[in-house]
Structure 1
């Protein structure tokens, strides 16, 4: 069951990415600078987690499900319309050393064909603890979660660089903002979550419409402050061995960043929070939150020939769809 659900969401995610028709986004624009022949590599230190709140009908209380590891090291690659990154939680960080059973691995793939924005994120966590009011916390070394989520959005303002706010391969030169509506979707699997004497295995699916507004404020040529807020409404479906149900879903996210950049080097900090709330009082109620704070350092350099050729082949293939 788990493998089948995972395969379905992967097929959906890949289909969404590659069904978008690429448009040429390299036209001259005085509002932001692009680096079409540059490869960007960046590293970042992230304090991150995917936390859950499960409602227990017997206890009449919410039980927090918290991952054991939160500090991850990330590496990302960006060239033209494609960007991807991955992160893991090494034991070199003090916050990870005393949590022997905890692991976090993440992977992201972003595609920017013209005004379209396509994002796919993958989170895998092992090792949790659970806690509730008036009950002692317990450690769950065998518990794990898997989340795959995506977002398809459209940038209505050609003068606004969505990629500049995330410290990718564009640089906002004149302040601008944009309304960016999006459709978001996700699949989450929880395995071996013990609540008192009961083991919880469940799958969660979400689909929502997320209108958002983002703004890049250029303080001067090298300093940028960026922010974004989104609110959404959609559906939440949960299923386990005993039952399944669908409920109303509300979502919200806040994205803030501050960066210093030149044509070759940049650094910055970014804070992001996304919260999903299910409108239900049933035993299957789940509140889901993804939060992270990151410190980023990146460098741009001339792209090797094989990367340029691969990128040109990708553009031709997308334009042929």
Structure 2
């Protein structure tokens, strides 16, 4: 199939997906709150007036890939493991993430250079709607495929880019079709799923991010990127004796990426704009223990993003596998917080 035919094919898929999602949401909006409350009875345990706090570890990080007909560049940050702290209260969740050197795998600055990484995120999870916003900042990358450029053997230092910066904001939002299914039991930890249930969840994602090499005023690049995608998703939680659970979630989406690339040269800045159609697929599986006071779990995410690269700094297109391990406790909120909220 030629490139023009591919684009027409993908655009058709995008239009069909968008129309289907809009019609579905319109139909679901007509379901009354009374019916939703009936669905929840016996399936979900609410924890109003309870604060959940957890600590978790993951290896989720931003990587980038640049390809030309003659070579490729694969950039990784030196942050293989992250530490995340989160607080959850009813429908709201707040978190902070960083990558301390004391975690196993971190701190190999001589070989891979120094990386500083920081992330803030907030989530709102209501009965049928959820939204999440994340701010991330990373400085310092190394060339993963250094051996493509120099005579390199294992143990040697990688080519490093200490002044390469990433900064971005991402927003996601979606709709939970089945009121028997508790997304909070998997995310904000302010509910417990008592019986097995699943739900269709259409999801929309938007992201704005900048990549900037500040090492020199010439022969360097910076890019501004706008990315969004939409698609159908599904998640299911299998519950055993109300406390032990396993979960699986899948999302397939189609979207658009615009990149404004600035190349700094001695003769001035050279600016190009590129537009790419992208496809994305995510699969998340995990299991955990969720009691009234204590919860823990481990999840694995398989993520793959594809789009036709046009010789620019861009999001990586390879398949990635990420882990997430968390441990948390619940306790009574101060009286100041104990006003009944809706959600």
Gap regions ≥5 residues in structure 2: 1-32, 151-157, 263-270
Q: Distance in 1 between matches of 2:85 and 2:228?
A: 29
Residue in structure 1 matching 2:225, options 190, 197, 204? 204
The one-character-per-residue Cα deviations of 1:196-227 (angstroms, maximum 9, x if unpaired) are x9422111111111211111011332111011
Where do 1:99-114 residues align within 5 Å?
A: 99=109, 101-114=114-127
User: Is this contact kept in 1: 2:283–2:303, CA < 8 A?
Assistant: yes
Residue 74 of structure 2 is aligned to residue 45 of structure 1: no
Residue 94 of structure 2 is aligned to residue 84 of structure 1: yes
Instruction: Specify the alignment match of 1:12 in structure 2.
Output: none
Residue in structure 2 matching 1:298, options 328, 331, 335? 328
Q: 3-state DSSP class of the match of 2:159?
A: strand
Instruction: Specify the alignment match of 2:135 in structure 1.
Output: 122
Residue 296 of structure 2 is aligned to residue 267 of structure 1: yes
Residue in structure 1 matching 2:255, options 221, 230, 234? 234
Instruction: Specify the alignment match of 2:162 in structure 1.
Output: 141
The alignment yields a C-alpha RMSD, in angstroms, of 2.6
Where do 1:47-196 residues align within 5 Å?
A: 47-57=59-69, 60-99=70-109, 101-132=114-145, 134-136=148-150, 137-166=158-187, 168-192=189-213
Post-superposition offset of 1:176: 0.8
Q: Distance in 1 between matches of 2:56 and 2:291?
A: 18
Post-superposition offset of 1:237: 0.3
Query: Structure 2 vs 1, CA of residues 187 and 288 (structure 1 numbering), >3 Å: closer, same or farther?
Result: farther
Q: 3-state DSSP class of the match of 1:96?
A: coil
The one-character-per-residue Cα deviations of 1:47-103 (angstroms, maximum 9, x if unpaired) are 22111111235xx23311101112221110111110111111112224222226211
Tell me how many residue pairs correspond in the alignment: 287
The one-character-per-residue Cα deviations of 1:244-295 (angstroms, maximum 9, x if unpaired) are 1211111111212210111110111122243332234x21263437753121
The one-character-per-residue Cα deviations of 1:121-173 (angstroms, maximum 9, x if unpaired) are 22211110124462234111111111211111000011111122336211111
Q: 3-state DSSP class of the match of 2:241?
A: coil
What is the TM-score with the length of structure 1 in the denominator? 0.82
Q: Pick the structure with greater CA Rg.
A: 2
Q: 3-state DSSP class of the match of 2:184?
A: helix
Q: 3-state DSSP class of the match of 2:326?
A: strand
Query: Structure 2 vs 1, CA of residues 273 and 84 (structure 1 numbering), >3 Å: closer, same or farther?
Result: farther
Residue in structure 2 matching 1:286, options 286, 296, 314? 314
Gap regions ≥5 residues in structure 1: 1-22
User: Is this contact kept in 2: 1:53–1:288, CA < 8 A?
Assistant: yes
User: Is this contact kept in 1: 2:92–2:188, CA < 8 A?
Assistant: no
What is the TM-score with the length of structure 2 in the denominator? 0.77
Q: Distance in 2 between matches of 1:34 and 1:157?
A: 16
User: Is this contact kept in 1: 2:261–2:312, CA < 8 A?
Assistant: no
Q: Distance in 1 between matches of 2:188 and 2:124?
A: 15
Q: 3-state DSSP class of the match of 2:287?
A: strand
The answer to which structure has the higher strand fraction is 1
Q: Distance in 1 between matches of 2:165 and 2:128?
A: 37
